[in-house]
């Protein structure tokens, strides 16, 4: 799946720290999210709730880029 970000400055590439991702969702008002599948972590409830209220689309992908099957 290819993603097209326009304008380019809108694309945010973050470290693999889940807390950094959650902070970026709330700090930058991110509404569309693509993340590797299989990562689970507990966050501060208020931060998580704020992110869930904001996100419109979330896509989880396999880090290998391959589809199972």
E-assigned strands of the chain? 32-36, 57-61
According to the model, what pLDDT value does residue 3 have? 61
pTM above 0.85, yes or no: no
According to the model, what pLDDT value does residue 45 have? 82
According to the model, what pLDDT value does residue 1 have? 52
Q: Which residue has the higher pLDDT, 31 or 4?
A: 31
pLDDT tens track for 11-44: 778 887 888 888 888 888 888 887 778 767 777 7
60 three-class SS: strand
- Distance (Å, rounded) from C-alpha 52 to C-alpha 62? 22
């Amino acid at each position: 799946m290819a993603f097209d970000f326009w304008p380019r400055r809108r694309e945010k590439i973050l470290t693999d720290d889940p807390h950094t991702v959650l902070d970026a969702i709330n700090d930058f008002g991110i509404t569309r999210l693509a993340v590797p599948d299989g990562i689970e972590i507990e966050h501060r409830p208020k931060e998580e709730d704020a992110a869930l209220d904001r996100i419109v689309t979330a896509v989880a992908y396999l880090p290998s880029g391959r589809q199972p099957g």
